[in-house]
Every structure is written in C-alpha cells, then in structure tokens.
Amino acid sequence: MAASSEDLSRDIARLVDEKLGEDIVCLDMRELVTYTDYLVICTARNERQAEAIAEEVHLRLKHDRSLLPVNPDRSGDVGWTVLDYLDCVLHVFTEEARERYDLEDLWHEAPRVELELDQPSGKSASAA
C-alpha cells in the first residue's frame, strides 16, 4: 500500500531536519488548492546548505520511495529551491528569500501540520 501524502510531507520534513534546515513548517493545502496536498517550507543558512538539503531529499526519496521530483532543475539561484513531488512540494529558502516571498503569509489560512523533529526548539517550527 502506498504511503499517504501526509506521510510523505512528514518524511520530507524529517529529512530537512536531519540536514539542519531551520524553521520547518508543513502546510495542509488539501482544502485550498488542487495541485498539491502539502507544502513543506524551510530556511537554509545559505545557498550551499539549501543545495545540500535539496540533494539529500532528492536522493533519499529516490532510494527509499522510488520518487523523483517533477522539476529536475534545482538551481535555487534566487535563494529559493523547489522540489515538486506532486502530493507534496518542498520549498527551501535562504532567510532573505523566505522573508521576501513569505509563503506562510500567502497561505495563512492553511492548517499547519504538527511535526515531531529532532532539532532543539527554535531551529525548527512545530505547528500548533
């Protein structure tokens, strides 16, 4: 049986957490849009870390779930890297780009998924 889109979003958030992504948020988009079920949003300290996060998620989902993103270009040259797995979309931002695009405000009505992550509080965001 295939894993749910919520399980996929939690796995992506966990992988981001393992690569020390910060302020990790998962938004439940199922009642708001038709193109995805969940958005996972995180901040990387710099472009290098953003690429490392994207690469880790890409490799692990390919290996563990035989999943590939529908957008193979992960250039992230504007501080924003996207991996689109259809049911779940990962957005990796540098701090400046995250503030500029502010997806959480854009989708403020989306419920947040409670995440259980390993990083100390303040480094990743658990939803209430």
First to last CA, the chain: 30
Q: Are 28 and 38 in contact (CB under 8 A)?
A: yes
pTM of the model: 0.88
Evaluate whether residue 27 is within a structural domain: yes
Evaluate whether residue 83 is within a structural domain: yes
Q: What is the pLDDT of residue 125?
A: 44
HSE at residue 60, side-chain half, CA atoms within 13 A, is 16
Q: Which domain holds residue 49?
A: 5-106
Evaluate whether residue 125 is within a structural domain: no
Evaluate whether residue 44 is within a structural domain: yes
Q: What is the pLDDT of residue 2?
A: 52
Q: For residue 6, name the pLDDT band (cuts at 50, 70, 90).
A: very high
Evaluate whether residue 119 is within a structural domain: no
The domain that contains 57 carries what CATH number? 3.30.460.10
Number of domains in the chain: 1
67-126 pLDDT, tens digit each: 999 986 666 678 999 999 999 999 999 999 999 999 999 999 999 999 988 765 444 444
Q: For residue 16, name the pLDDT band (cuts at 50, 70, 90).
A: very high
Evaluate whether residue 116 is within a structural domain: no
17-60 pLDDT, tens digit each: 999 999 999 999 999 999 999 999 999 999 999 999 999 999 99
Dihedral sign computed on CA atoms, order 71, 81, 33, 111: positive
Q: What is the pLDDT of residue 124?
A: 43
Q: What per-residue string of b and e applies to 111-128 under the rule 16 or more CB within 10 Å gives b?
A: eebebebeeeeeebbeee
Q: What is the pLDDT of residue 122?
A: 44
Q: Are 127 and 115 in contact (CB under 8 A)?
A: yes
Evaluate whether residue 128 is within a structural domain: no
DSSP reduced 3-state for 22? strand
